[in-house]
Amino acid sequence: MPLNIGCTARPGRGRDNKTGSWRVFYPIFTEETCTGCEICVLLCPEGCIEKKGEKKYVPDLDYCKGCGLCAEECPGDAITMEKEEK
Amino acid sequence: MRELRIHGRGGQGSVTAAELIAVAAFAGGVYAQAFPAFGVERRGAPVQAFVRLSDETIRLRSQVYEPDYIIVQDSTLIRDVNVFAGMKPGGIAIVNTEKSGGYEAPEGVRIITIDATKIALEEIGLPITNTALMGAFAAATGEIDFSALEDAIRGRFEGKLADTNIRSAQRAFEMVKGGNA
Amino acid sequence: MKEILEGSHAVAEAVRLCRPQVVSAYPITPQTHIVEALASMVADCKLDAEYICVESEFSALSACIGASTAGSRTYSATTSQGLALMYEVCFNAAGMRLPIVMTIANRAMSAPLSIWNDQQDSISLRDSGWIQLYAEDNQEALDLHLLAYRVCEDHDILLPAFVCFDGFILSHTYEPVDMPTQEEVDAYLPAFNPYQRLDAKDPISFGMYATPDYYMEFRYENQRAMLRAKEAIVRYGTLFKEQFGRDYSGLIEGYELEDAEIALVAMGSICGTVKDAIDEMRKDGIKVGLLKIRCFRPFPDEEIAAALAHVKTVAILDKNVSLGSKGAVGLEIKDALYGSSIAVYDYILGLGGRDIRKKDIRAITKLAEQGSGDMFYGLREELL
């Protein structure tokens, strides 16, 4: 496929690029220790963590690339990273 | 090709004089080129401006070193700068001064002294001497018609400012024509 | 119609006639009179354009990139340090393939601070992907703006262009020019038809990220577009000649070159002085001619090699220096003539506004005849 003149790209390509396939570790959210601070939502580089309830946060695993930033920064240690395949 | 070198100080209108002489000459059907040579861009610093006139297209871009004519906006410049440098025999030097002579010019160069500052102060109310000296240049050299000079001045300045500058030019023109300069 | 006006104002008029929709520039000596005049035209409703005031040259060209990607015909002007401040933006404009036209009122680079002319500024941007055209006089400076837009906006080209004219020597010189009418310019330069543009309904991004798998191909496409521009300049230069009578069909031009044994090579306003010096030297029996380079990027190497094939000696007049090497034009000419038996000498001259006279051209011709070159010419030895 020839290159686009001016190095142009359409935004749809970003949406189609499902970074979930890059994941080695995936996050597990524990409601009991969650403070509901939403730092995980704000920090997620892929913007793929969604609030589903009072203390219920769910990553979109199509896009979560397993970087672990949410787990690292969670003040209540409510997120742990687990190996994708054992 | 005839070449003019104007010596002045920043703020005296030397560049404008060169431009308006070129505009007036062009109106008379002559190819003209006018350009400045700034030293430091400050009021009072010596500046030069140049005009070339020819019946053919002018391609030369160097400064003027062997002028047919010079205009000296202010006789104090003669202390600082060799204004007569390189002048051609038969050339004409127009010097703004209260004095009637006493300048050493190269052989064959005619010096015309005129108190352009007095004229400018009386006509314009400011010591802006360039238009008076343009009038003297027109009369002394015959390179430009006075009416073309008048049009050129009117093209640059508006209303009363144009009127006073034209009066200043006219007075100097008539003084030189009448041999009173 | 022939009229007499300052070079900067002739360029501003030419730009007005090209109907730019967005002008963004930051004033800098000796470019200021151009953008002052354009700002007045916009304020007086003589030019229907958006004039974007900015705080720097970096912003000026960035605004032009934005406007050009949005589908506007876009113009800027700068010189010297201003162009240097645009450095990375220049590469972006070229890489995004935006047909921006920018006047360069050529001026020396600091330090030491100099407001006067040489061509170091635009020459230093030679690798940025902008077409570079150099004007000998104010007529050519005016005309090259029309040509530049015509070439740049061609969908086979899509590149930005500098129209370079020597600061002060041309920008501040009053001389007659033949000013075309709006109808004539409209007949030559059609309304801007962007190849692609930003559109909220159909969003795209310009100048995206390219991994090592793609980057080289993008650069190669830029190079191919640049090389295609040679043919486009010739084609639209010929069209210009047919319509206006002035011939810009060549990337280079010869003067007394056909039977010359010594060829001087130069760009810009110095060519006028060189032509006068050649007329004098020809009267003295010296077989000397001029090869004028109008288009420095793309570089017309094959055309130059053909035009100089018959001469014995070439002397290049370089108003720039690639410090640690030679003059930039000299290097290009040596490359173009590689493998020939022609003696090629480079002369660095006229830096920072050092005046160049006919006698200097004669002296350089003599030096070349004697086989002495690749030097700074006209140094004041007492200062060294």
Same domain, C272 and C235: no
Q: C-chain residues within 8 Å CB-CB of B60?
A: 272-273, 276, 358
Same domain, C141 and C287: no
Has residue A25 got a pLDDT over 80? Answer: yes
Has residue B101 got a pLDDT over 80? Answer: no
Domain count across chain C: 2
The residue among C188, C221, C244 that closes a domain is C244
What's residue B45's pLDDT? 82
Mean of pLDDT over chain B: 94
Has residue A14 got a pLDDT over 70? Answer: no
Q: Which of C1, C2, C4 is best to mutate for the B interface (most B CBs within 10 A)?
A: C4
What's residue A86's pLDDT? 58
Nearest CA in chain C to B65: C357
Nearest CA in chain A to C220: A3
Which ranges in C196-327 belong to alpha helices (H)?
A: 215-244, 270-283, 301-308
| Span C145-163, average pLDDT | 98
CATH code of the domain containing C238:
3.40.50.970
CB contact under 8 A, A6 and C95: yes
Residues whose CB is less than 8 angstroms from the CB of residue B81 and which lie 6 or more positions away in sequence, other chains included: B7, B46
From residue C328, give the alpha-carbon distance in Å to each of B181, C307, C340, C375. 54, 19, 20, 13
Local structure of residue C259 (DSSP, 8 states):
T
The residue among C218, C244, C270 that closes a domain is C244
What's residue C117's pLDDT? 98
User: Does the domain spanning B2-177 belong to CATH 3.40.920.10?
Assistant: yes
CB contact under 8 A, A3 and C214: yes
Averaging pLDDT over each range in A34-38, B105-109, C312-316, which range is the top one? C312-316
Minimum-distance CB partner of C276 among B22, B33, B59: B59
Strands C252-255 and C288-293: antiparallel
Tokens at C151, concatenated:
């070439």
Q: How far apart are CA B89 and CA B109, in angstroms?
A: 6
In which region does residue A60 sit, left (phi positive, over 0), alpha (psi from -120 to 50) or beta (all else)?
beta
Same domain, C236 and C264: no
Query: CB burial class (10 A; 0-12, 13-18, 19+) of residue C2?
Result: exposed
Range of the domain at C321: 252-383
Q: How far apart are CA C312 and CA C368, in angstroms?
A: 10
Q: C-chain residues within 8 Å CB-CB of A9?
A: 204-205, 208
Q: C-chain residues within 8 Å CB-CB of B62?
A: 273, 355-358
Has residue A13 got a pLDDT over 60? Answer: no
Least confident segment among B75-89, C37-51, C289-303: B75-89
The pLDDT tens digits of the residues spanning C208-248 come to 889 999 999 999 999 999 999 999 999 999 999 999 999 99
- Whether the CA torsion A5, C160, C66, C120 is positive or negative: it is positive
The count of other CB atoms within 10 Å of the CB of residue C39 is 17
Tell me if residue C164 falls in helix, strand or coil: strand
What's residue B39's pLDDT? 72
Q: A-chain residues within 8 Å CB-CB of C200?
A: none
Residues whose CB is less than 8 angstroms from the CB of residue C130 and which lie 6 or more positions away in sequence, other chains included: C90, C93, C94, C102, C159, C160, C161, C162, C297
Which ipTM was obtained for this model?
Answer: 0.95
User: Does the domain spanning A19-83 belong to CATH 3.30.1490.20?
Assistant: no
CB contact under 8 A, C158 and A6: yes
- Whether the CA torsion C76, C81, C83, C88 is positive or negative: it is negative
Has residue C318 got a pLDDT over 60? Answer: yes
> Which subunits sit against A, judged by 3+ Cβ pairs under 8 A?
C
Bond from prior residue into C298 cis (ω within 30 degrees of 0)? yes
Q: How confident is the model at residue C368 (pLDDT cuts 50, 70, 90)?
A: very high
Same domain, C198 and C268: no
| DSSP string covering B64-88 | PSS-SEEEES-TTHHHHS-TTTTPP
Distance from CA of C65 to the nearest CA of A (A): 12
Residues whose CB is less than 8 angstroms from the CB of residue C49 and which lie 6 or more positions away in sequence, other chains included: C19, C20, C21, C22, C23, C38, C42
Q: A-chain residues within 8 Å CB-CB of C95?
A: 6-7
Q: How confident is the model at residue B118 (pLDDT cuts 50, 70, 90)?
A: very high
Q: How confident is the model at residue B41 (pLDDT cuts 50, 70, 90)?
A: low
CATH code of the domain containing C327:
3.40.50.920
**Domain locations in chain A as residue ranges:** 19-83
Q: How confident is the model at residue C179 (pLDDT cuts 50, 70, 90)?
A: very high
Q: How far apart are CA C73 and CA A1, in angstroms?
A: 30
Same domain, C301 and C156: no
Has residue B167 got a pLDDT over 60? Answer: yes
Same domain, C273 and C236: no
Has residue A70 got a pLDDT over 60? Answer: yes
Same domain, C210 and C299: no
User: Do the beta carbons of residue B47 and residue B36 sit within 8 Å?
Assistant: yes
Mean of pLDDT over chain C: 97
The residue among C210, C244, C278 that closes a domain is C244
In which region does residue B42 sit, left (phi positive, over 0), alpha (psi from -120 to 50) or beta (all else)?
beta
User: Do the beta carbons of residue A84 and residue A23 sit within 8 Å?
Assistant: yes
| Span A21-40, average pLDDT | 93
CB contact under 8 A, C356 and B62: yes
Residue A15 sits at the chain C interface (C-beta within 8 Å):
no
Has residue B56 got a pLDDT over 80? Answer: yes
| Span C107-113, average pLDDT | 97
User: Higher-confidence residue: B101 or C63?
Assistant: C63
Averaging pLDDT over each range in A20-24, B40-44, C268-272, which range is the top one? C268-272
Q: How confident is the model at residue C366 (pLDDT cuts 50, 70, 90)?
A: very high
The pLDDT tens digits of the residues spanning A45-57 come to 999 999 999 899 9
The count of other CB atoms within 10 Å of the CB of residue B45 is 13
The pLDDT tens digits of the residues spanning C156-168 come to 999 999 999 999 9
| Span C166-192, average pLDDT | 98
